[in-house]
Structure 1
Amino acid sequence: MWLTATDAGRQVPFAALAALMPASSCADVTVVLPAVREALRARAGSRRLVLVVDDAHLLDGPSAAVLLGLAGEAQLVLTICAGAAQPDAVRTLWKDGYLDRVDLDPFDDADTGRLVAALVGGDVAAPTAQMLHQWTRGNAFYLTELVRAGLLDRALRERSGLWWWQAPLVVPPTLAELLDRQLNHLDAAARDALSAVALGAPLAVEVLERIVAPDVVVRLEDRGLLRAEAADGGQAGRLSLRFAHPMLGAAVRRRLSPARRRRVAAALLAARPSEPVHPGEVVLTALWQLDAGTAIDGGHLLDAADLVLHSDPALSLRLSEEAARRQPSALACVASASALVELGRPDEARAVLEKAAADASSVDDETQIAIALAGHRVWAERDPAGGQDELTRLLASTHDPAARADIGSLKALVHLFGGQTSAALEAADSVLADGTAGRRALLRAGLARAAALSLVGRTADALRAAGEVAAACVEDPAGLPYVRGMALAAVGLAQIWRTPAPDVPATHPQSGRWPTPSDRDLAGLEPTAWPLFDGYARRVAGDLPGAIKCLRVALVQQAGGEGLFRSEAATWLVLCLAEAGRVDEAEDVLRSTPPDAMAIVPGLSPWAAAGIAAARGERRRAIDLMAEAGAAARRAGCWLVEVGYLVHEAGIRGPAGAAEVAARLRAAVEHVDAPRLVAAAQATLAVASDPDDGTSLIEHVDRLERLNMPRHALGVVRAAEAMGNPVRAVRAATGTGSLTARESEIAGLAASGLTDREIAERLVLSVRTVESHLARVYRKLPVRSRRQLREALRR
């Protein structure tokens, strides 16, 4: 039998038990309890009866007392809301052990993904699951209602076999009624305070207290509508305010009338302490000025448009078009065109640029639009060669030093994304040595140089160069946001071949095409791991299932907007699928999304085709294709890429044929400063030169495992065994492959029951690092679960 307590019934004695009480019952617990007990027995008859009371924290006192009296006699199940005040009798039920208390934690990302998958009947893109988790905070009811509304409104749609949320946060009607109950009956000052937080979260407490009285803020916090948190990393004791739940913030924004929005935005502008400093403040100030209808600088709007280009291109378009309306300029047209490309409207973007070129009234404007048109041909139309020709002609006709530096920096990036790495490095160095180059040109050139250094194999130099670019971007709150994110990606690219657990760049969960700085205040959501990079890093580490999952997501993301890394996403997914034995799927991906001229890694097309050929057993064809890929890398000056191709080719050739690539590999690896790749190359050379030296091969295997390259290590073992060298048996006999000190420490904590996140917090490591160490522990022991880990450590 199911009973439900309500807030209204709380004021009426025995309201929740009315269905079990005789009409003549009095209001005395000692009389009601026997009557309810008898009613339950009569209802149950010979069957076992379970009495369920939902929302038991809302029970009136007498009803709760009757339930306490039934404890031990009837099967009771009560649900209570965490944190809610409970009648004493309900608290006694679990405190004194009459009932077991089971705390249901909110869903995490994985739980959210599983439930959404069950609701939609298909696989859910990981970024969508992460975003829905952030919006609902793991609340199962909010999540189910949001998903149902998303299906009805087509905000939740299937693309390439994955379900994606492709709209802003909405409040479903069923949730709106519940959320509105928390907002009804608030006075005008409280509504103003909530409106201010809706327009400015995270909003500094001192700013809000200039708009409403401090006691209003305290009252809203006490009611659980707002929550305070440390601002600026907890420095100087500053606090900022957010809504206690994201859905509540969405409900307030839904109720915000135009007149109140205008008045509150004006109040926020008047209350802000200074000019915006952080990127989030730049965007918020621009939006307040638009909402308030005040005078606004067009340059400020364009800065804000740049900052939200990749997280919210629709807002970027609105800001840039408003800037053009208030203060027409070439830069405003360029910003509008960029937003249109990100929104999947490249033809409209070209039309905007061509009109701006026809309307240009100065040489500077003509140059800026011409640069943008060349860039559009490269990024949106995927024609780097054609764009490079346009830039070369423009450079020949331009005499202004600053403009020439701008053109030169763009040429460096076009060389990079056209697979001409050495040319990109040369062009970038030329701009950086030019004393007339402006800030944008220097940032672009620095980015091109950092990425090119990684590809040519100078990873330590690449780390320094990328760090300098990232640091330079921090000095400017607007700057070039894509450069900030790409500089972090360049750091990660260099780290992949240097460290077992590279830092994965962050991205906005809704778009995910670009790496972005980890700025929750700007994005409105917690950033998530960039699927493209995460997939590649997992492939290098040997985690093919994880890599495939990430790269499937990345390929869909890179199919939109400029999609700079579409070729890389497609190639890496093809290779992972082929290596996992899913050759038909690999061929489908290669057929539908073949690598094209836009790629920073040269030789992708033959590499992808070689992966499929090798999986099909077409060894001779695969070797020829790898030779073609290696030649492309050599022409581009990409020593790191060539070494990777040669190691791959040696694996296809097998141990007997590895000697045929040894000379080229030995020469190429001399140019590469990348410990993980060098270790793989040296192991390949050891197999080729002396496959009978078991001790040497064991050392290479252990080194590869320490560097988190288990697939390469297994390749060495198999190659040696194919030549008659029982490396596996020798390795076991010598005892090499034991756990390192760090692996032992992490294994012990995991065996004690701590989660990966708890271990990371205790040892001040990233969760990803803990996962990598545990993966190596599992392979070495070998075990497959924490239970088996405990048994292995005990042995």
Structure 2
Amino acid sequence: MAAQWPFTGREDELTLLSGRLAAGLVVAGSIGVGKSRLLAEAFTRAPRDFAPKLVEYDALPVVGDLRTAANALVAEVAPRRLLLGIDDAHLLADSSAALIQHVVQNRAASVVLTIRAGERAPDAIVALWKDRLLDRIDLAAPTEPQTGALLERVLAGPVTAGTIRLLHSRANGNMAVLAEMVQAGLADGALAKVAGVWRWRGEPGALDRDVTEAERDVLELVARNEPVCVDTLTDLDTVDSLIHDGRLTLHDDCVRLTDPLKAEAIRAAAGQRPRSAQELLAAAHEATAALDFVQAERFAWQAAEAGDPIGAAEVLWRVVSLRDLTRAPEMDEMLARLLRKDLTDRQAATLAYRRAFLLFWFLDRTSDAIDLLGETKLRVADRQCRDELSVLEALFMLYRPDPRAALDRLTPLSDHVPAKLGTGMALVLLGRPMDAVPALQFQVGHDELPGLDLGAAMFRCYALLMSGDLPAAEHAAEELYQTALAGEWHWNAALAHALLSQMVRFRGNLTAARRILADGLSLYHSGVGGGTAFASLLFAEVATVRALSGDPEGASTALAEADRTFRPSQAVHRFWLEMARPWVANVAGDRAEAIRLAGRAAEVARECGADAYEMLALYDIVRLGAPDLAVNRMAELRCQSAFFDALRAHDAAAFSELGACLYAAEAAIQAAQADRRAVSAYRAARLAENCPGTHFPELSTLDVPRLSERERTIGRLAAAGQSSRAIAERFTVSPRTVENHLQRLYTKLGLRGRDDLGEWL
């Protein structure tokens, strides 16, 4: 497969190189970056009067007299001009390098060379660009999007963002390594289609092909003694092979393992264990930070055996919470045993926090989690520890959800950053996003209070959305999404996909939302890590997007999955599930049932005191065409922000200003249905164009006028205040022609004249 990979992602560089063949060029780049392939592709585009000839660095003729050797090269292709390409020119012998320098200096032929960046090249080759005989370009490593485009072309289908990131990172810019990994993954099933999307399944370590015995010997030698000077190694062919594969990195004539965690693993496998629990825990934390969970768990268990079971429990808890929920019962038993030991207040509070977290969110034993926190607060005397446990109690209340009780519990603790974050989360539910945004700007590390960082990031997105800053909300969701993809943290990846889809949906791009959700569904169906914590939220969003895209069967199937996977610990996300139901009914053709279900969703939110979600559900009733059933209650709710004001006004212009393109298009369509004006229908159709992938059946009921491109352009210029004469000069036509275009525009849109053009825009 590697030899047959398509050439893609380097079109700009290929165009540049093809245009510089006659002048000659030096192309530099790191190993495997694609220099050789680029050179070969460019030579296929050589002008007809050139004779392209690609030679290896060791295939040049033996040089005696430079002029004689140069003439011999040129004579082979006469009368055409020789286009000489030499790959890996940094490896040329001095005599061959001198020949190339002579050819270039005397313009006997056009010469294009590739060299490996960072490698020492013969002086004669360096002089080519130093003396400005040839220009030099440095070929950058492929970007992640370029790698993704290549993978999707090779595999003939979409690839999950996490898989693209994983393979891109492991290839480290080396396309040969990337091809090898893909070939190996296809062969052993690690790379497979899941729900129609290509995904890599298994541990990152599975990417490493089997090494030969000679390679293993070199890797172990380097791992034990790195950095190692190349001069001290004897098997240089093997060393060169490992450098080429990206397993060894060469710098200043010394090599070390490219992956420091792999070096640690090799040292461990060879019998060199860190001696103390502290050293083992340090290695475990390093592996966890790099999301190498297999190594992290191994080091943690060794640390426990070496005398620090509590420190080991910290690492193992992270492994479970970030990677493998199927291990939660096992982790709970370990934490329960540790809590029965004689512990300091800090140790007891930390372990209780972790165990309560597991009980509530991973095992759905919500009451047991709250009881554990209460028991531990009686056990510890340290105020800081008690306050941290109280914050978690409040978060549990928030997720049940009971935002008012949570806020009451958090208010006395407002000096603590975690309490500020919890307060911000409660304020979002209560419809006070403007107050919530500042509180949710505080940062807390995952190690400090695990879980709170994720919750705060999620509610920060909702706060920004509901405050009316939709671009910022989408950006915040994208950041969380990228964090999840960085290591495919499977238990929160469903949340990250659902959340980003929600923000993109409010912005009106359902095509992008469907792509994001396809990625999320592929991850879910892959079954890696048993990550189902946010599955119901994911499927609720899938149901909503499919419904709004005009897919009744897909929406119904997703809604059934959302119900099946709903978990009590995620009750705060039930609002999104309830708000999906009306749209599934609506796309199935039952508008009356859709309105009833939207009313039920509003009741669920009202019962919990979640004013923000009640407002959203009530506005769904308006969107479904029954505003009289919702507007009075919407006026009563004390939700305050530009976003909520736009909901109450049901105003397309206000939504457009906020970037809420979906709501803007829907409001404009309803307005056009009401006033039956041509200009309103045109405006509604234009707003609908800002919502790719969205199904607007009501749009077909409107008589949308069709304007030519010239009419639209002249209309915009006239609306901007330009005179007919000025517009005429711009298009080299007469003012009368401009007036005729404007008159047709007025007639089609039902406008009286120039003064009404602002309404059209």
| Smaller-chain TM-score bracket | 0.5 to 0.7
Call closer, same or farther: CA 1:562–1:421 in 2, change over 3 Å.
Answer: farther
Please tell me whether residue 479 in structure 1 is matched to residue 516 in structure 2. Answer: no
Alignment partner of 1:164: what SS?
strand
Q: Residue in 2 aligned with 1:631?
A: 603
For residues 625-649 of structure 1, the C-alpha deviation after alignment (integer angstroms, 9 at most, x for no partner) is 2112111111111111111112222
Partners of 1:619 and 1:651 lie apart in 2 by 11
Instruction: Choose from 531, 534, 537 the match for 1:565.
Output: 534
CA drift at 1:723: 0.8
Shift in CA distance, 556/422, structure 1 to aligned 2, threshold 3 Å: farther
AA paired with 1:31?
A: T
Aligned partner of 2:645: which letter? Answer: V
Aligned match of 1:460: 434
CA distance in 1, matches of 2:394, 2:167: 39
8 Å CA contact 2:672, 2:680 repeated in 1: no
Distance 1:501 1:371, change over 3 A: closer
1:616 and 2:616 equivalent?
A: no
- With 629-638 and 421-430 compared, the bigger mean Cα shift is at 421-430
**What is the CA–CA distance in structure 1 between the aligned matches of 2:108 and 2:491, rounded to whole Å?**
58
Where does residue 501 of structure 2 map in the other structure? 535
1:711 aligns with 2:662: yes
Deviation at 1:192, TM superposition (A): 9.2
Q: Using a 3 Å threshold, how does the CA distance of structure 1 residues 91 and 176 change in structure 2: closer, same or farther?
A: farther
Encode CA deviations 1:387-421: one digit per residue, 9 max, x unaligned. 46755985898796868656543332222233333
| 8 Å CA contact retained: 1:55, 1:81 | yes
Aligned pair partner of 2:87 in 54, 57, 61? 54
After TM superposition, give the deviation of residue 63 of structure 1 in Å.
4.9
Query: 1:144 and 1:62, CA in 2 relative to 1: closer, same or farther beyond 3 A?
Result: same
User: CA separation of 1:616/1:69 partners in 2, compared to 1, >3 Å: closer, same or farther?
Assistant: farther
Q: Which runs of 5+ in 1 are unaligned?
A: 10-14, 19-25, 194-218, 226-242, 263-290, 434-441, 517-526, 685-699, 738-780, 783-791
Task: State the partner residue of 2:197.
Answer: 162
What is the distance in 2 between the residues matched to 1:390 and 1:497? 34
1:102–1:409: structure 2 CA closer, same or farther, 3 Å change rule? closer
> Is 362-371 or 338-347 further displaced after alignment?
362-371
What one-letter code is carried by the residue in structure 1 that aligns with 2:67? T
- Name which of 146, 170, 190 aligns with 1:111: 146
| Whole-Å separation in 1 of the counterparts to 2:274 and 2:344 | 36
Deviation at 1:380, TM superposition (A): 1.5
Which residue, 424, 427, 450 being the options, matches 2:409? Answer: 427
Counterparts of 2:270 and 2:421, CA distance in 1: 44
Per-residue CA deviation, residues 65-113 of structure 1 (Å, 9 max, x unaligned), is: 5865997878x76544457647757986999899x98875432222111
Q: Distance in 2 between matches of 1:714 and 1:405?
A: 47
Unpaired runs of 5+ in structure 2? 1-51, 231-248, 688-711, 714-726, 732-761
Q: Offset at 1:171?
A: 5.0
Partner Cα distance (1:49, 1:174) in 2:
42
Equivalent residue number for residue 509 of structure 1: 485
2 CA distance for matches of 1:189 and 1:108?
29
- Measure the CA separation in 1 of the matches of 2:105 and 2:213: 38
| Cα distance, 1:79–1:444 mapped onto 2, change above 3 Å | same
1:349 aligns with 2:331: yes
- Relative to structure 1, the CA distance from residue 138 to residue 38 in structure 2 (aligned partners, 3 Å threshold; closer, same or farther) is same
Structure 1 residue 614, shift from structure 2 partner = 1.7
Name the counterpart of 1:285. none
Conserved in 1, the CA contact under 8 Å of 2:430 and 2:611? Answer: yes
CA distance in 1, matches of 2:382, 2:223: 61
C-alpha contact (below 8 Å) 1:488/1:515 kept by paired residues: no
**Kept in 1: contact 2:84–2:109 (CA 8 A):** no
Once the two structures are superposed, residues 365-403 of structure 1 have per-residue CA deviations (whole angstroms, 9 ceiling, x without a partner) of 99987776554332122354x446755985898796868
Report the Cα distance in structure 2 between the residues aligned to 1:30 and 1:316, rounded to whole angstroms. Answer: 63
Give aligned-pair identity as a percent: 21
Contact 1:337 1:350 in 2 (8 A): no
Q: Over aligned residues, Cα RMSD in angstroms?
A: 5.3
Q: Distance in 1 between matches of 2:261 and 2:84?
A: 35
2:395 maps to: 413
Distance 1:122 1:390, change over 3 A: farther
The secondary structure found in structure 2 opposite 1:124 is coil
Distance of 1:396 and 1:458 partners within structure 2: 31
Name the SS for the 1:129 alignment partner.
Answer: helix
1:5 aligns with 2:56: yes
- CA distance change for structure 1 residues 171 and 254 in 2, over 3 Å: closer, same or farther? farther
* Whole-angstrom CA distance in 1 between matches of 2:132 and 2:612: 67
Report the residue type matching 1:453 in the other structure.
L
Distance 1:189 1:584, change over 3 A: closer
Aligned pair count reads: 600
Question: Which of the pair has the greater relative contact order for Cα pairs under 8 Å at 6+ separation?
Answer: 2
Q: 2:38 maps to which residue?
A: none
Q: Quick one: distance in 2 between partners of 1:546 and 1:569?
A: 15
Match in the other structure for 1:238: none
- CA shift digits 1:423-479 (9 cap, x unpaired): 33333336659xxxxxxxx56544432212112111132223223x52xx47xx952
Partner of residue 161 from structure 2, selected from 118, 126, 130: 126
Asked if 1:676 is matched to 2:720, the reply is no
- Say if 1:328 and 1:256 are closer, same or farther in 2 by CA, change over 3 A: closer
What pairs up with 1:222-621 in 2 under 5 angstroms?
222=252, 248-249=258-259, 253=263, 257-258=267-268, 292-294=274-276, 296=278, 308=288, 311-318=291-298, 320-327=300-307, 333=313, 336=316, 339-340=319-320, 342-344=323-325, 345-353=327-335, 355-356=337-338, 360=341, 375-384=357-366, 386-387=367-368, 390=371, 394=375, 408-429=390-411, 445-467=419-441, 469-470=442-443, 473=444, 478-498=447-467, 499-502=469-472, 503-504=475-476, 505-506=479-480, 507-513=483-489, 531-555=497-521, 560=529, 563-594=532-563, 595-597=566-568, 598-621=570-593
Letter in 2 for 1:511: G
Question: Aligned to 2:228, what secondary structure does the other structure show?
Answer: helix
The CA distance in 1 between the partners of 2:147 and 2:180, in whole Å, is 13
Kindly indicate whether residue 51 of structure 2 is the aligned counterpart of residue 16 of structure 1: no
**Counterpart-to-counterpart distance in 1, 2:154 and 2:320:** 33
Q: Which amino acid aligns with 2:505?
A: R
Q: Structure 2 vs 1, CA of residues 589 and 67 (structure 1 numbering), >3 Å: closer, same or farther?
A: farther
CA distance in 2, matches of 1:140, 1:492: 37
Deviation per CA, 1:713-742, whole angstroms, max 9, x where unpaired? Answer: 111211111112538459989xx99xxxxx
Q: Give the conservation status (yes or no) of the 8 Å contact 1:421–1:638.
A: yes
Question: TM (normalized to structure 1)?
Answer: 0.62
Displacement of 1:329 after TM fit? 6.1
Structure 1 residues 455 and 514, CA gap change in structure 2 (3 angstroms):
farther
- Do the aligned residues in 2 keep the contact of 1:565 with 1:599 (CA within 8 Å)? no
- Say which SS state the counterpart of residue 296 (structure 1) adopts: helix
Q: State the Cα distance separating 1:709 from its structure 2 match.
A: 1.2
Deviation at 1:136, TM superposition (A): 3.7
How far apart are the structure 2 equivalents of 1:319 and 1:730? 66
TM normalised by structure 2 equals: 0.64
Distance 1:136 1:179, change over 3 A: farther
User: Which AA in structure 1 matches 2:397?
Assistant: H
- SS at 1:122's partner residue? coil
8 Å contact kept, 2:195–2:522:
yes
